[in-house]
Structure 1
């Protein structure tokens, strides 16, 4: 069962990596990041709603605390999807995916601020190494025309921060209800927010566009199946193993960008990416050991 659960987590990370590339293709076709994010979450909502309907016991939907923290998780996942795709549109899939992978660093910083975790010199060194990796990856010291823009860098980091918010919201909602109930509320909040903020005409026109199969694939892989696989897989996968397997996401997204979207990274950027991936993974593994 443990091996199967690890495979579930790996598949979820693989699907998330592919979703970044699919989103990049859609935005290259002229679709706005908010519209792409909306359909990723809205189609995901259908899947988790079916999951809840099939397993309704222990949902906790009568508990106000569940609704509050699940709504916070919804704000987090809405921000994560949106800022991630904005970062892709302003830079590249590889850079956006790697910046989002910095989410555990934000979790540590928030935990330090809330005194949920004790800061140590090793953790501060790791955080500093990640910051150095970000500078090398984004080349923020020498941004060239056509490269990663300051907006792309900021959006990538905000996507990681938003993911950290989702993690905290989900963590505090978990004692009050089932994962499927939390995700239904979270994705409902996402859909309501992004539909109201996005271009309504473009959102509705997507229903009859030739790009519709890509939207469906994005929603199925990027939110529907992936979140279910990830949560089910985590039940029997050690946190340290899950942290290592999560590297599949930025690696898959980067390969998609290079192979399909004809993106490229210089040696310094590859060095920065490696520094971030190795440091964040090590930090996650050591904290869960």
Structure 2
């Protein structure tokens, strides 16, 4: 049972990593990142709505708190998808995926400021380690020839904070409602938010383009299937183990970017990526314990 849970979480993380590569391919074809985000979430919403209908008897009673926290989760996932794709556009799949996984450290820092978390040397060392990794990964140590644009860095970190908001909203919503209900409401609010931000003409053009299949594949892997796998996997394993194996996503995204798309990472960037992943994994395990 334990290994089945780990396997499901690993599969979900692999799906998320591949979805970043698919989005990069679509952006290279000229599609707007917000339009790509909209379709990723919309296909996911369809999957979750079907799940909701199939288990309607267990999901009939929806509390006010479930609605509120699910809407918060929807705002988080909208920001996560959009900023993640903007970061890919401005940098690369590998860098964007790694920056997104700095979320736990920034949440920890905010918790210090709000006195929600006790400050310790270990936690400050984790923050310092991630900042060092970001500097190495983005080339910020050499201001004259920085390898990643400021927009790419900012969008990647914003994706991480949005990811944390989604997790926070989903955790609170799941304590009051079922996963099908919370995910359906979250992704419905996601679609409402992005429909107002996206280019309506370009969004409509997707339906008649030859890239429609890629958009559908992106939505199935990056939202529908991946979240179904993750929600069911997390029930069968511990949070610590789930935190560790979730690191498969940036690794998968990096390999996809290098092998399929042709991204290039130098030795220093690879070292920075390793520092971030090791630090976040250590922090996640420690916090879970």
TM exceeds 0.5?
yes
Which residue in 2 is equivalent to 1:43? Answer: 43
> Within 1, Cα distance between the matches of 2:25 and 2:274?
25
Which residue in 1 is equivalent to 2:212? Answer: 212
Q: CA deviation at 1:102?
A: 1.0
Which residue in 1 is equivalent to 2:251? Answer: 251
> Within 2, Cα distance between the matches of 1:141 and 1:193?
37
> Within 2, Cα distance between the matches of 1:62 and 1:28?
42
Which residue in 1 is equivalent to 2:199? Answer: 199
* Range moving further from structure 2, 123-132 or 61-70: 61-70
Written as runs of structure 1 = structure 2, the 5 A alignment for 1:124-143 is: 124-142=124-142
> Within 1, Cα distance between the matches of 2:31 and 2:21?
14
Q: Render the CA deviation track for 1:146-177: whole Å, top value 9, x for unaligned.
A: 94210000000000000011111111112210
> Within 1, Cα distance between the matches of 2:89 and 2:279?
26
Compared CA separation, residues 150 and 60, structure 1 to 2 (3 A)? farther
Which residue in 2 is equivalent to 1:190? Answer: 190
> Within 2, Cα distance between the matches of 1:57 and 1:275?
47
> Within 2, Cα distance between the matches of 1:210 and 1:7?
34
Which residue in 1 is equivalent to 2:273? Answer: 273
> Within 2, Cα distance between the matches of 1:99 and 1:108?
15
Q: Render the CA deviation track for 1:82-127: whole Å, top value 9, x for unaligned.
A: 0000000000000000000111112323333444432211011111
User: Contact 1:13–1:249 (CA<8 Å) still a contact in 2?
Assistant: yes
Which residue in 2 is equivalent to 1:64? Answer: 64
* Range moving further from structure 2, 186-195 or 81-90: 186-195
> Within 2, Cα distance between the matches of 1:138 and 1:45?
34
- Quick check: 1:102 aligned with 2:102? yes
User: Contact 2:24–2:93 (CA<8 Å) still a contact in 1?
Assistant: yes
After superposing on structure 2, the runs of 4+ consecutive aligned residues of structure 1 that deviate more than 6 Å are none
Which residue in 2 is equivalent to 1:284? Answer: 284
Gaps of at least 5 residues in structure 2 are none
Compared CA separation, residues 61 and 153, structure 1 to 2 (3 A)? farther
CA RMSD of aligned residues (A): 1.5
Written as runs of structure 1 = structure 2, the 5 A alignment for 1:23-34 is: 23-34=23-34
Which residue in 1 is equivalent to 2:85? Answer: 85
User: Contact 2:104–2:164 (CA<8 Å) still a contact in 1?
Assistant: yes
Aligned length: 289
